[in-house]
């Protein structure tokens, strides 16, 4: 039976990407779209690329009849999400795409987000949404917290290696390159085409990026000790895509074997032949992750490169994948679309 | 029953786009992929973005067992196509994506392509592949000739207007802006990122672009007299997308009404509200066409803007749409994917 | 003797371009930079690409000692400029880069800009800044009004042709393609990299773009009768550059000869050999204009393509060129830098 | 007295950039331009952006009268350069932009370039062209070897730190992001706009990039012991610019102080305030280098980010800077042009 879907916060990029994916999802039907500032407008006015679809107009959250909704995606801004979800029906299945429920520890949340959490009880209930590692919990979860897009990319590379104990935990460097859609539809000078195209720069330098909170939480839990990685993202003149370059101390062949073994049964995760690395072009617009491993000329040093599409596998695609699980559908339903190239 | 598909010339962009579309087509299965220079290679080596798919390796055309093929897409270079198709089994259904069978008149072909046609009997047999206007013929055709991507864009704007007699036939100007993938995977200096990005230029100026042959053939047939339009394309720093700006003598409201009326039942063609015009962003990666009409400040002059994705609706999407018809499937099968934005 | 220069409104793109050009101008020295919202900041904080220069900090206009200024460039927003200039010392030489003094007729100003002019007496005094056509007036002017960047491009193509009477004045179509920096440093969704790159669209459709006011004023004056052209600009995914495609009724050879003859002695204007057209790449970052002429396959129809850099020759370069004249310097001083390619 | 300049290999990007810079150089005059395959063509046909200049046509090297040349820039392909320079007059001053004379040790050359050197005696004579560190030798040199563009970027960051002994020499990671013009005007599929734009990938992974030969040579000489860094470049969808991210073990404040102190008197090198990092936008089209230093959240770990324009400071600008020295001119002559932004 077709599942009735609501998208709260449909006027941003992750909301639009959800609509794009659900447009050809055989089991989902969108019954409500909300957008506070754009309430009353048709979705095609806010995102003309969706004008061919038969969609409900944007409305306010309080106008949604949640009794007629099987699952709600919550694509609201960080900090807004917790206040809204707190007041939703207690039996509504929710996939949250914001940062609000990624960190389980209220103190960690307060540290990285600069304010106390408004719904700590939900924080405890939420399941971390990195599907391939929390699959069983997600299946039975009521509230799933989508991961950060950078955090997802880094974890796909590093989790199996930390678990296998095959890299030096005190020497993990993640140099990340990401497209601009990760910054959302924000009106900032540095996101203008005139200022972003044809150049690149680092940002959130010095270990200040919030996704470090997720890395710390997850990696320390796996390792059974504190793990603090070094991580700096760079903004690139492209719209979609994250490429993470991990500089590691460890045996490259062993690293490759661990990743290959761990992901061989996964539909969306592909480990390339040893010595080759992927491009973000290989996954643009899709739910796939490609990972490559190379040995450095210095023995015992390895390079691992992972790529995904930040809006899809890094956010909305992951969300649909989790929703599939929560609603008893095959995990890949509606998500096997090939990347778009060129 | 699943249809068995061969793609001849799968190592170019239109070949890759066919594979992308067929990857999620519920009724098609790829049984053969050919590429003369890359024969023996897996498709994932030629196009890494397809490496997640289970596909046959590239082979030579003579290695294909056409008895096991229901329909072949022929995505070979112009002029090569006619020689190859001539030697294929006479009962094989074929959708050709080259320019070889677009012009019905051998003299017109020789004029625009600079050489006599090698298979004039097939030229006569081929049905012109602009689906929405040749639908019935395509259903029963054995050989369908895909249109030029610029030619398709211009015809979606102009055919109904010429038919309705609502524009001056001696005053049709088509100023076209197109992305670079239309030039194919050709190694030319002006297609390098360093030379193409951040700038624009006209090309094939002065009425020399080969798609004028298609315009002349089709528009003259509709009008019952010679119609020669003015047409200049411009190369833009973007990969996908064509935007055609038609400068016309005619009543803008009437023009809008004619287009709206003609396309109201079409799945892929959308006419915007009067006074608004589309962006190529609205259709990127999809099989949709969006058209907008505006009146000029000078009475009796109108502007019509049409957009489509040259690789999809302008080429491989159109080809799949025609193949659906030829194989008795609903025309939209596998083609309702939403555009990718941003 | 070095000329002392003030730039009012230095925190926008045209202000920054003025600083870039003056940085290597041998006779100009910047003594004041204003920016109301950014007053107190060093220019290198507002535009890091200028951080190597020894410049005064941004200040408020009222802090400038105009007695120590030989010439002020006014790069303020439209409508702001007239109010500011009205209160500047009456003997200060001014080159205005806004739209405020381009139209001589108060009624035309009110029509195109939607409000009455605040300084009609200055409007009458201002000289139109299209250097190659107002050179003598500019030399002795106190206030020069920089032209619109689109308006400049169109006029370089059309003025000599209208003057020579070699084109049909009722059939002038200008299809213009422009880069995004012409929109300034405005925070608008459609100017974000994510929304602008990889696509194109028309804007100000239907004869509503304000630069039509300049075309009407100038062309009608030359022709001695009303001339109303058709003009639609398109926004392209590039930062700098305007390419104007003029679709004309006239003899292409004659058109070429008229332009060639008119511009043969001009330092910045180049007419290409007949049958060839320029790219915006040819002029990026420079003060040059390149123009090409082609005949259509339809006799008596011609295509003229002109390119310039909207920020330089279309705005700040033109302004420096005019300032050179006003200060008794050779017109090309500081402006012969070659374009930047790739 | 004006210096007479020849450019050998003027049909590539570094050749064109030399012409661009010399176009406004007050003391240089181009008397010969060579290009084997394009001999006989005007430079404006090969690079239309230079069509406004009065330049000699391209010719073959044997047609150049070197008696009338004060200095030759040699912008030929790698490996070609050594054979050509060997046969040039022994008293001709030469700045080579290829890789041929960067490595002093014939064995190192053979290792990194896969063939024995054709002119080992010249290899010994050549002075390494990193101006700020070889200034005195360059002044009196006859043959100067331009550095690799990536190699220059890394050295500007690392040389003072290695010399000061303030970083762990066994823990130097250089994650480099570079624009596509560094690959030259090569016709390769991955350099096409359609394949390069909107994505990124690593290349020359695993310690195989040839510029490592320069790093090894220079850093080991400074340190007085073998130094082998880890270095992987990434290709970005932009034309100009290199951003090098150095991940270092060392005290960030001390690193900042060392760099600040070392470069305080340099005209082209700017160290940003502690805690801030530059963008490639800040230097595009110019001869400047900007460097920023940040401390990581992990004590004792630092991030240093350096940027330059690969075609200018990384190649042709550096070459002009060295030529200035060799010809007794002030080092900055003709090189103070501001970057181009946006």
Q: Is B336 a domain residue?
A: no
C94, C233: one domain: no
Structure tokens at C179: 């880069």
Least CB–CB distance from B197: residue in D13, D189, D193? D193
Q: Is B342 a domain residue?
A: no
DSSP string for residues in D153-179? HHHHHHHHHHHHT-EEEEEEEEEEEE-
Q: Is B168 a domain residue?
A: yes
Query: ∠ CA D20-D22-D27 to the nearest 5 degrees?
Result: 165
The interface predicted TM-score of the complex, written ipTM, equals: 0.96
Q: Which residues of chain A are within 8 Å of residue D232 when distances are taken between CB atoms?
A: 245, 303
Q: Chains B and C: how many Cβ contacts under 8 Å?
A: 143
Please write the tens of the pLDDT for every residue from A99-118. 999 999 999 999 999 999 99
Are the Cβ atoms of C197 and A13 closer than 8 angstroms? no
Please write the tens of the pLDDT for every residue from A45-99. 999 999 999 999 999 999 999 999 999 999 999 989 999 999 999 999 999 999 9
Instruction: Give C312's DSSP letter.
Output: I
pLDDT at residue B1 in the model = 79
In chain B, the number of structural domains is 2
Q: Provide the 3-class DSSP secondary structure of residue B170.
A: strand
D77, D173: one domain: no
pLDDT at residue D1 in the model = 79
Mention every residue, 6+ apart, whose C-beta is less than 8 A from residue D146: D95, D96, D97, D98, D102, D129, D315, D318, D319, D322
pLDDT at residue D85 in the model = 96
B157, B306: one domain: yes
Q: Does any CB of chain C come closer than 8 Å to the CB of residue D23?
A: yes
Structure tokens at C318: 């033109």
Mention every residue, 6+ apart, whose C-beta is less than 8 A from residue A106: A116, A117, A120, A123
What CA–CA distance (Å, rounded) separates C84 from C64? 13
Neighbours of chain B (3+ CB pairs under 8 A): A, C, D
pLDDT at residue C278 in the model = 98
pLDDT at residue A246 in the model = 98
What CA–CA distance (Å, rounded) separates A159 from A222? 8
Please write the tens of the pLDDT for every residue from C65-119. 999 999 999 999 998 999 999 999 999 999 999 999 999 999 999 999 999 999 9
Minimal CA separation from B309 to chain C, in Å: 10
pLDDT at residue B179 in the model = 97
The two most distant CA atoms of chain C are separated, in Å, by 62
Burial B39-56 (b: 16+ CB within 10 A, else e): eeebbbebbbbbbbbebb
Torsion over CA: D260, D263, D266, D270 (sign): negative
Q: Is C48 a domain residue?
A: yes
B174, B290: one domain: yes
Please tell me which residue in B149, B166, B178, B312 is annotated as part of the active site.
B149
Q: Which residues of chain C are within 8 Å of residue B253 when distances are taken between CB atoms?
A: none
Least CB–CB distance from A199: residue in D241, D245, D277? D241
Are the Cβ atoms of B239 and D193 closer than 8 angstroms? yes
What CA–CA distance (Å, rounded) separates B94 from B79? 16
Minimal CA separation from D255 to chain C, in Å: 21
Pairing between β-strand C201-202 and β-strand B167-178 as defined by DSSP bridges: unpaired
A80, A162: one domain: no
Burial B119-145 (b: 16+ CB within 10 A, else e): beebbeebbbbbbbbbeeebeebebbb
Which A-chain residues 279-308 have CB contacts (< 8 A) with chain B? 279, 281-285, 288, 290
Q: Is C333 a domain residue?
A: no
Q: Is C334 a domain residue?
A: no
C46, C62: one domain: yes
By C-alpha distance, which of A192, D58, D194, A180 is closest to B195? D194
pLDDT at residue D295 in the model = 98
C192, C305: one domain: yes
Range of the domain at C187: 150-309
The CATH number assigned to the domain holding D193 equals 3.30.360.10
Asked about A149 being catalytic, the answer comes back as yes
Look at the block and give the residue holding tokens 């002349």: B216
What is the rounded average pLDDT of the residues D83-100?
Answer: 96
Least CB–CB distance from D279: residue in A199, A230, A294? A199
Indicate which of D196, D237, D339 best probes the interface with A, i.e. most A CBs within 10 Å of its own CB: D237
What CA–CA distance (Å, rounded) separates C127 from C142? 8
What CA–CA distance (Å, rounded) separates B168 from B249? 5
C154, C303: one domain: yes
C288, C162: one domain: yes
Q: Provide the 3-class DSSP secondary structure of residue B311.
A: coil
pLDDT above 90 as % of chain D = 98
Q: What is the pLDDT along chain B (342 residues), one digit of tens a residue?
A: 799 999 999 999 999 999 999 999 999 999 999 999 999 999 999 999 999 999 999 999 999 999 999 999 999 999 899 999 999 999 999 999 999 999 999 999 999 999 999 999 999 899 999 999 999 999 999 999 999 999 999 999 999 999 999 999 999 999 999 999 999 998 999 999 999 999 999 999 999 999 999 999 999 999 999 999 999 999 999 999 999 999 999 999 999 999 999 999 999 999 999 999 999 999 999 999 999 999 999 999 999 999 999 999 999 999 999 999 999 999 999 999 999 999
Give catalytic residue positions of C.
149
What CA–CA distance (Å, rounded) separates C25 from C48? 20
By C-alpha distance, which of A189, A166, A132, A100 is closest to A308? A132
What CA–CA distance (Å, rounded) separates B341 from B303? 26
Q: Is B250 a domain residue?
A: yes
pLDDT band of residue C231 (cuts 50, 70, 90) is: very high
pLDDT at residue A299 in the model = 97
C101, C179: one domain: no
Instruction: Give chain C's mean pLDDT.
Output: 97
Q: Is C337 a domain residue?
A: no
Neighbours of chain C (3+ CB pairs under 8 A): A, B, D
pLDDT at residue C85 in the model = 96
| B250 bridge partner residues | B167
pLDDT at residue C1 in the model = 79
What CA–CA distance (Å, rounded) separates C30 from C7? 8
Least CB–CB distance from D20: residue in C47, C240, C338? C338
Look at the block and give the residue holding tokens 């974890």: A155
Please write the tens of the pLDDT for every residue from A176-218. 999 999 999 989 999 999 999 999 999 999 999 999 999 999 9
Please tell me which residue in A59, A74, A149, A166 is annotated as part of the active site.
A149
Check: CB of residue A113 under 8 Å from CB of residue A210: yes
B178, B109: one domain: no
Q: Does any CB of chain C come closer than 8 Å to the CB of residue B212?
A: yes
**pLDDT at residue C27 greater than cutoff 90:** yes
The CATH number assigned to the domain holding A122 equals 3.40.50.720
Q: What residue in B sits closest to D48 (Cα-Cα)?
A: B195
Q: Does any CB of chain C come closer than 8 Å to the CB of residue D239?
A: yes
Structure tokens at A142: 């009521």
Please write the tens of the pLDDT for every residue from D8-35. 999 999 999 999 999 999 999 999 999 9
Q: How far is CA C121 from CA C63, C82, C118, in A?
A: 26, 11, 9
pLDDT at residue C258 in the model = 98
What CA–CA distance (Å, rounded) separates C86 from B108? 66
D156, D274: one domain: yes
């Amino acid at each position: 039976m077709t599942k009735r879907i609501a998208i709260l916060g449909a006027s941003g990029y992750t909301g639009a990407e959800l609509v794009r994916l659900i447009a050809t999802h055989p089991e989902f039907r969108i019954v409500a779209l909300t957008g506070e500032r754009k309430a009353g407008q048709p979705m095609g006015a806010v995102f003309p690329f969706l004008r061919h679809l038969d969609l409900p107009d944007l409305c306010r959250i309080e106008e949604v009849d949640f009794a007629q909704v099987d699952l709600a995606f919550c694509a609201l801004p960080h900090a807004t999400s917790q206040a809204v979800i707190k007041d939703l029906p207690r039996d509504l299945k929710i996939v949250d795409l914001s940062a609000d429920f990624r960190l389980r520890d209220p103190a960690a949340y307060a540290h990285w987000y600069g304010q106390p959490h408004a719904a700590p009880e939900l924080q405890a209930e939420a399941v971390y949404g990195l599907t391939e590692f929390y699959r069983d919990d997600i299946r039975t979860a009521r509230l799933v917290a989508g991961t950060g897009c950078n955090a997802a990319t880094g974890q796909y590379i590093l989790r199996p290696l930390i678990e296998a104990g095959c890299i030096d935990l005190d020497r993990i460097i993640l140099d990340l390159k990401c497209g601009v859609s990760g910054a959302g539809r924000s009106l900032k000078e540095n996101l203008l085409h005139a200022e972003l195209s044809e150049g690149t720069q680092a940002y959130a330098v010095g270990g200040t990026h919030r996704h470090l909170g997720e890395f710390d939480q997850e990696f320390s839990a796996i390792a059974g000790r504190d793990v603090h990685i070094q991580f700096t993202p760079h903004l690139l003149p492209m719209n979609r895509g994250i490429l993470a370059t991990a500089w590691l101390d460890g045996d490259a062949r062993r690293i490759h074997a661990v990743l290959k073994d761990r992901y061989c049964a996964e539909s969306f995760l592909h480990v390339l032949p040893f010595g080759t690395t992927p491009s973000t072009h290989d996954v643009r617009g899709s739910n796939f992750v490609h990972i490559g491993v190379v040995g450095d000329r210095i023995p015992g040093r390895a390079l691992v490169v992972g790529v995904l599409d930040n809006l899809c596998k890094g956010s909305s695609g992951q969300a649909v994948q989790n929703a599939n699980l929560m609603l008893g559908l095959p995990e890949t339903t509606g998500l096997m679309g090939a990347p778009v190239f060129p």
